[in-house]
Amino acid sequence: MEKKKIKSALISVYHKDKLDIIIKKLHGLQIKIYSTGGTKSFIEGLGIPVTAVELLTEYPSIFGGRVKTLHPKILGGILYRRDESKDCEEAARYAIPDIDLVIVDLYPFEETVASGAGEADVIEKIDVGGIALIRAAAKNYKDVLIVPSRREYEPLQALLDGKNGDTDIEDRRRFAGAAFNVSSHYDTAIFQYFNREANEPAFKQSITGRMALRYGENPHQKGSYFGEFDAIFEKLNGKEISYNNLLDIDAAVNLIADFNEPTFAILKHNNACGLASDACLTEAWKKALAGDPVSAFGGVLIANREIDAATAAEIDRIFYEVLIAPSFTPEALTLLQGKKNRILLKQKDHPSVKQQFRSLLNGVAVQDKDLATETIDDMRPVTVRQATEEELVDLLFAGRIVKHSKSNAIVLAKNKQMLASGIGQTSRVDALKQAIEKAHVFGFDLKGAVMASDAFFPFPDCVEIAGNAGIKAIVQPGGSLKDKDSIAAADQLSVAMVFTGTRHFKH
């Protein structure tokens, strides 16, 4: 392994947290330091000698600091190849010094965009010189060590402590890889800002946080999660989260976000198998569990209110994989942590994603997330019999569940309790029959219940089956060429039906 001694360093950073430790270590190793602007002032404040870049380039910082390090004596000192005699001759001829270590932390472009700053401020946070330094040093990793962000300060400190200022090719290549990760992510963020109207036909995403998973959907598949899981959840207990857990957790938080009243939901394979709203969260849990106590085994549970001791005691009676809630009382948490593998998540925030993408064929399909949630005003009566106030509340309730259920989907509900669902069926009739059968298996009387469908009825058969089963109100998007046949069937059975005009397919 080819070792190289660091003799000089160029430092230009935005964030200076923990930089003092690095500076003092470099000084202790007798490494010459070049810097400029605020970084130079910071180093001088530590009482450590530093050479201004302006003295090296014989050129001042110009255009309000836009041009400082973009100079042949800087980029040349980074890029010239130490094992090429011609490069060495040119470096000597033009008095270009060796720069063996480059430490950069870029202007906070993403943070500035997220702050809601105006375009002028955002543009000024596009780093030009820093990106050039990163790319140059990473390209010449055979000779130069690049530290491309403050996240690499600790690895650099460990390297300096462990090798006393020496680096080998593996070290430099590893840091170069991190550097191109930083630069490509930064450029992607800038592109996304300028391409908000999607004028450029390109798909670019860059997510840097990685969580290793035991495996993918099945044990023979590798799996990873890229994202800031800890920004949304605080994990309070349990085993390592799996790929399938993540799919269910995602489905759960999106589902519960559509409910404002105290609500408990139980999910299995990304679909609700039980859900209920009640002023008392413990009662909401009991009603949700009653919807399908068999499927609840090994499921993912979510509530939109704090879990107290009474609710925790009821939940603790069954086996489940994950429980999500905005908070837990100390007594509830102590009880629920009694099983070490049980995953407990405190939800701190809701995902702000507005687009979804999926790899398919030899590319990626992108769509806007389904953020449409119907209200009473969206429900247009189309039958002679009008839905009662209670039925309208249940229709809204069922409609919000069916929106998050795999198509073809039917949901049956009464008194803000999900009675049953039929999901993932190739025929809407089969989905309805499945839901009716499940409701009967678990002892529910469908008389006075309501039904929600994720898409329109192409024929009146579903309306006829539902009405004969005792269902008194139906919500569906409408839009079929044969809507009039379904309306006529509803009128004949004295079933109220409303159209929303919004389909909720989910595949």
Cα–Cα dist 140/50, whole Å: 24
Give the integer Cα–Cα distance in Å for 15 and 311: 46
24, 163, 269, 433: which one is catalytic?
A: 269
Please tell me which residue in 24, 27, 139, 339 is annotated as part of the active site: 139
8 Å CB contact between 443 and 477:
no
Q: Which residues pair with 263 in a beta bridge?
A: 277
Q: φ and ψ at 245, to 5 degrees?
A: -55, -45
CA distances, 121 to each of 61, 79, 191, 379 (Å): 20, 31, 16, 45
Locate 313 and state its tokens: 């005691």
Q: Are 380 and 474 in contact (CB under 8 A)?
A: no
Burial status of residue 458 (CB atoms within 10 A of its CB: 0-12, 13-18, 19 or more): middle
**Contact present, 342 and 318 (Cβ < 8 Å):** no
Strands (E), 99-163: 101-105, 145-147
Q: What are phi and psi of 354, to 5 degrees?
A: -115, -5
Strands 233-237 and 380-381, sheet pairing: unpaired
Residues 6 or more apart whose CB falls under 8 angstroms from that of 226 comprise 207, 208, 209, 210, 211
Could you confirm whether 86 is annotated as catalytic? no
And the tokens for 204? 């670019």
Within 10 angstroms of residue 127's Cβ, the number of other Cβ atoms is 21
Query: Distance between CA 146 and CA 10 in Å, rounded?
Result: 10
Contact 388, 235 (CB under 8 A): no
For strands 299-303 and 320-325, give the pairing: parallel
The sign of the dihedral angle between the CA atoms of 154, 185, 124, 148 is positive
> Which tokens belong to 286?
């009991």
Q: Which amino acid type is present at position 88?
A: C
Contact yes or no for 29/160 (Cβ under 8 A) = yes
**Annotation says 5 is catalytic:** no
Distance, CA of 93 to CA of 84 (rounded, Å): 14
Q: How far apart are CA 435 and CA 439, in angstroms?
A: 6
- Give how far Cα 79 sits from Cα of 72, 98, 138, 187, 418, Å: 10, 9, 9, 21, 66
The catalytic residues are 139, 269
